[in-house]
Structure 1
Amino acid sequence: MARLIEKTPCEALLPVTCGALSLREVVGDRITSVAPFRGQATKLAAALKKLGLSWPEPNSANAKNGASIVWTGRDQAFLIGADPDSLAGHAALTDQSDGWARIRLEGPGAADVLARLVPVDLRGFEPGQALRSQLGHMMMVLTAPAPGAFEIMVFRSMATTAVHELHHAMKAFAARSAV
């Protein structure tokens, strides 16, 4: 019988650093897609409140006590780092934990590195904001967990490409900064 070995999406790829910039994998948190059932918004809001969270407005995220909820599209969000059982009956819940790679880019110039790959101006992108956009040719979900830091979520199958593209942009930024 085949023996399967669990690996993270970015295993053996990260961490990497370029000057003061670092790129590392974020692992361990459960990710659940939440899509409210019709007519259940009020009950879902009450269930989220018990977790210390609220339904995110478009292009936003909120976090408390190690859990967060990130807007990912119309009537859809990702609940990260929390048990979704209390939301059952109010929303369609789908475990996405193994389907995504989570990468954290931080340090001075992180927004400039992303400017090489993301078609959105990220100057002033702050904690509490979220967006769905492209990272090169890949779809991503982007949040700012702290000032000067970005969390990038890409499909697990794109992890190697995302790390390659981000590391390449980090090196280019570092080289330009050194001139």
Structure 2
Amino acid sequence: MADLIARSPAQGLVPVEIGGAKLTEAPMVPIWAVAPYAGKAAALSAALEKAHGLPFPEPGALLSKGSTRLAWAGMEMAFLMGTAPDEKLADHAALTEQSDGWTHLVLEGPAARDVLARWVPVDLSPSACPPGAARRTLVGHMGALILHPGGDRFEILVFRSMAGTAVHEMTRAMRAVAARAAL
């Protein structure tokens, strides 16, 4: 019988540090998709707040309380990260475990926004993407969720199958930004 060994999606690919940017992988934590049933959005928000201390996020928002985070992840969907959902939430929403499906990269440093500007077709300037923002967008050709918890730190979630491509493309962008800064 095969001896399976759990490994993170970007194991052996990161860390990468070039110029003013560093790319690492966030620790693997539970990720659950939470999608309210029709007409249950308000009840779900109240149940989330009671169970986890966070309401259902507004579009584009990232909410945090301790190690639990709730990120807007698209129309009528949020990602609950860092903990499993309270079982009572199932009365108000479809709950889908997503942990193994995502690569969770962290890009930080003074050049992080410049690196992402080469890769992402949305405005991530401080006024358009303040701390506590979540943006569902493309990263290159890959669907992604970008979280901005604050400062010069951005978290990029792409499908696990795209881990190698994401790290490769991000490394290329980091090199380009560093080369430009050296001119």
Once residues 100 and 143 of structure 2 are traced to their aligned partners in structure 1, the CA distance between those partners, rounded to angstroms, is 17
Aligned residue for 2:71, secondary structure, equals strand
The letter of the residue matching 1:56 is P
SS for the counterpart of 1:177 is helix
1:76 is aligned to 2:77: yes
Would you say 1:126 and 2:130 are equivalent positions?
yes
> What secondary structure, in the 3-state scheme, does the structure 1 residue paired with 2:166 have?
helix
Letter in 1 for 2:23: L
Unaligned runs of 5+ in 1: none
Unaligned runs of 5+ in 2: none
TM-score (structure 2 length as normaliser): 0.94
Q: Structure 1-normalised TM-score?
A: 0.96
Q: RMSD value over aligned CA atoms?
A: 1.1
CA distance, structure 1, for counterparts of residue 49 and residue 93 of structure 2: 15
Q: Hey, what's the Cα distance between the residues in 2 that align with 1:9 and 1:106?
A: 19
Output the amino acid matched with 2:92.
H
Q: Which residue of 1 aligns with 2:142?
A: 138
Write the deviation string for residues 37-57 of structure 1: whole angstroms up to 9, x where unpaired: 123223312221121211111
Q: Which residue of structure 1 lines up, in the alignment, with residue 178 of structure 2?
A: 174
- What is the distance in 1 between the residues matched to 2:114 and 2:159? 23
Tell me the SS of whatever aligns to 1:84: coil
Task: Give the share of equivalent positions with the same residue, in percent.
Answer: 51
Shift of 1:115: 0.6
Q: Give the counterpart letter for 2:25 in structure 1.
A: E
Tell me which residue corresponds to 2:103.
Answer: 101
Give the distance between the partners of 2:123 and 2:135, measured in 1 at CA: 11
Indicate whether 1:154 and 2:158 are aligned. Answer: yes
2: CA distance, partners of 1:80 / 1:145 = 13
Distance in 2, matches of 1:168 and 1:19, equals 12
Aligned partner of residue 88 in structure 1, secondary structure: helix
C-alpha distance in structure 1 between counterparts of 2:42 and 2:179, whole Å: 52
Q: Distance in 2 between matches of 1:155 and 1:11?
A: 15
